[in-house]
Amino acid sequence: MCGIVGYAGTRECGDILIDGLRRLEYRGYDSAGVAIHTTNGVERVRAEGKLANLERAFRDTPLHGTVGIGHTRWATHGRPSEANAHPHMVDGFVVVHNGIIENHMELRDELEAGGDRFESETDTEIIAHLVARERPKTDSLLEAVRNTMAQVRGSYAVVVMNADEPDLMVAARQASPLIVGLGDGENFAASDVPAIMMHTRDVVFMNDGDFAVIRRDSVEFSDTSGAPVTHTAKRILWDPVSAEKQGYKHFMLKEIHEQPDRIIDTMRGRVSLETNHVHFPDMALDDEVLSSVKRIIILACGTSYHAGMVGRYAIEKLARVPVEVDLASEFRYRDPVIGEGTLIVAISQSGETADTLAAVAEAKRRGAKAIAICNVIESTLTRVCEGTIYTHAGPEIGVASTKAFTTQLVALYLLAIWLAQERGTQEPAERIELLEGLRRIPGQIEKCIQDEARIREFARNYVDVHSFLFLGRGMQFPIALEGALKLKEISYIHAEGYAAGEMKHGPIALIDDDLPVVVVAPRNEHYEKVLSNLEEVKARGGRVIAVTSEPAGDVLRHADDVMTIPEVPELLQPLVTVIPLQLLSYCIADIKGTDIDQPRNLAKSVTVE
Ligand code: AGP
């Protein structure tokens, strides 16, 4: 969850590191720090809180040097504080780390018994102590780091420097992302591409078990045994502008507005205009495996899980394959049964979510094949799966997922249509109609987004409430869950999503004028039933916000506030009903003045359990 950046070159690196951390702040933002080789050895500046605090501290105490490392933290062991902020330093050995050292307690006990004194509550400081202990016994810093990492259990991306070896840093990766950027007379380490892409676009994605010695004019890779490893750099082609706010007040708002274009990107090259066939030219999984699928298990967390729930409806309806959807964090511990012909579809924006990775590993261990629906190119998930359907949403910086969700839905629809096409379970005419419907979606989302000003007006009436209920049926149930998740994560208002049919089995007891109920009721086969649920809420004095198809008709009579969507094919409705819910959450949070892009306690990629 933390962000790492390292630089070895000829330029002053303070600003390079801090600028890189700014682009990684989505990974964690409770404290930050940098350490730089200066004429006095290695010196550090650290600060609790947002990166702005580190920038201020660095301005007050600037450090000058051309080799350094930086870190932005999401606390796992030890509260957010300056003492717990990275880099950690022991006898001139300096470490930044992303991940979790699982055997930190026993290692700490052992080190303390040997006389080591700890300055922080973190698991990371152990690495600095171990490197300091190992270095005198070995020939090189690389060997010391290798011997250290052999003693720790868990996940890590680490970069280590030594005050006595000012021209190099050593990086190591195990189950946490780490890349090396190759420049001209300068080289970089980072957790993610945006941190360094204004300096170089030639990037090596390190593998688990890789070590790298990074100097200004060379990078050498090796494995856990010390054998050299050869990597070919990949050229990053995407545009850095997509990682900027471009005049929007928040990344989340920008990302909501981007959805029409990103959905076009998700479909690009996958739907033939001539034959109206779906194909995945970039997915390296042979057609035979995919078309012999007997059962699909979708694994994901959070918003991606909600996308998976929608995907289940689409795949079962079109391709007639039984689909289960499981929270990755539950699946990995429930001794799952994987029969022959089981295909795992793992969904993740980041491709680094620890639970999703572990669930896929568990399924593969039991013989399943796995494909990923993922946004981040070359992320860990894409490398452990047999094939990937990239969503091409571009960098999503806002912690609350928006464009990642709708592009995941489009990828799932395409997968469902493709399976149906290969298995012959859908009439070609129906496929053509559905694909035409998909092509119209970007324009229809655009139309929903234009409702923002009106939604903002009535959102004012809801900023002081303490709790919301979201109701939906069928494919709108996951949308109700997603609406509730969006609202709670950015506005800090409690919200619960419920299957509308379950309301009478409990939640109806909560209804009074203090609990606004958002009812997702587009015109579809469940419309009448959801309308009855809406009336049941009104009859008990509840306030109703409805999402429905235009013209709003009957709903207008019962709802206090209405958000409409254009007429779209029923199967595709989730792609548009979610838009007003994203905007409602955004407007309520914006009026409340919360930190929308970096809500408290959260981080963009959850790389720990
Ligand atoms: C969504 O708004 C959340 N920030 C969160 O639920 C997220 O979807 C979840 O952590 C899964 O992330 P992933 O898609 O990167 O695996």
What are 294-309's pLDDT values in tens digits? 999 999 999 999 999 9
26 Cα: distance to centroid of ligand 1 (angstroms): 12
Q: Is the pLDDT confidence value at 238 over 90?
A: no
pLDDT band at 149 (very low <50, low <70, confident <90, very high): very high
* Ligand 1 pocket, residue 407 CB under 6 Å: no
Centre of ligand 1 to C-alpha 488, Å, is: 13
How many CB atoms within 10 Å of residue 429?
Answer: 9
Given the residues 2, 385, 448, 587, select the one marked as catalytic.
2
Question: How far apart are alpha carbons 361 and 366 in whole angstroms?
Answer: 9
Q: What is the mean pLDDT of residues 497-504?
A: 91
Q: What is the pLDDT of residues 379-415, one digit of tens each?
A: 889 989 999 999 999 888 899 999 999 999 999 999 9
Alpha helix (H) residue ranges in 428-468:
428-449, 452-459
pLDDT at residue 241 tops 60:
no
Across 219-226, average pLDDT? 97
**Quick check: is 447 catalytic?**
no
Lowest mean pLDDT among 37-51, 160-174, 235-249: 235-249
Structure tokens at 261: 């274009």
| Residue recorded with tokens 């109703």 | 544
Span from the CA of 255 to the centroid of ligand 1 (angstroms): 15
Radius of gyration of the chain (CA): 25
Q: Best of 74, 401, 408 to mutate for ligand 1, by most ligand atoms within 8 A of CB?
A: 401
Which of these ranges, 66-75, 374-383, 472-481, has the smallest mean pLDDT?
A: 374-383
489 lines ligand 1 (CB under 6 A): yes
What pLDDT, on the 0 to 100 scale, is given for residue 244?
67
Mean pLDDT across the chain = 93
Given a cut of 70, whether residue 285 has pLDDT beyond it is no
Domains and CATH numbers, the chain: 3-237 (3.60.20.10), 243-448 (3.40.50.10490), 452-592 (3.40.50.10490)
DSSP assigned state of 575: H
Whole-structure pTM value: 0.80
Report the pLDDT value the prediction gives residue 206, as an integer from 0 to 100.
94
Tokens linked to 419: 């399976």
pLDDT in tens, 362-378: 999 999 999 999 998 88
Residue 301 Cβ inside 6 Å of ligand 1? The answer reads yes
φ/ψ of residue 590, rounded to 5: -65, -40
User: 606 CB under 6 A from ligand 1?
Assistant: yes
Rounded-to-integer distance, Cα 118 and Cα 366, Å? 42
pLDDT band of residue 532 (cuts 50, 70, 90) is: confident
The percent of residues in the chain predicted with pLDDT above 70, rounded, is 98
356 CA: nearest ligand 1 atom: 16
Q: Please, are residues 404 and 391 in contact by the beta-carbon 8 Å criterion?
A: yes
Please tell me the distance from the alpha carbon of residue 53 to that of residue 72, in angstroms, as a whole number.
Answer: 12
- Residue 290: pLDDT above 80? no
> What pLDDT was estimated at residue 537?
87
Instruction: Return the structure tokens found at 50.
Output: 């947002």
Nearest CA to ligand 1 atom 9: 302
Is there a catalytic annotation at residue 369? Answer: no
Task: Give the integer Cα–Cα distance in Å for 163 and 188.
Answer: 18
CA distance 4 to 17: 9
| Substitution candidate for ligand 1 out of 606, 607, 608 with most atoms within 8 A of CB | 606
In Å, how far are 6, 204, 214, 220, 232 from 179, measured between CA atoms? 10, 6, 11, 13, 12
Q: Per-residue pLDDT for 240 more than 70?
A: no
- Ligand 1 centre to CA of 307 (Å) is 11
- Check pocket membership of 177 for ligand 1, CB cut-off 6 A: no
Closest C-alpha to ligand 1, atom 2? 400
Q: Is 353 in the pocket of ligand 1 (CB under 6 A)?
A: yes
Compute the distance from residue 609 Cα to the ligand 1 centre, in Å. 13
Task: Assess whether the C-beta atom of 401 lies below 6 angstroms from ligand 1.
Answer: yes
Question: Which atom of ligand 1 sits closest to the CA of residue 303?
Answer: 8
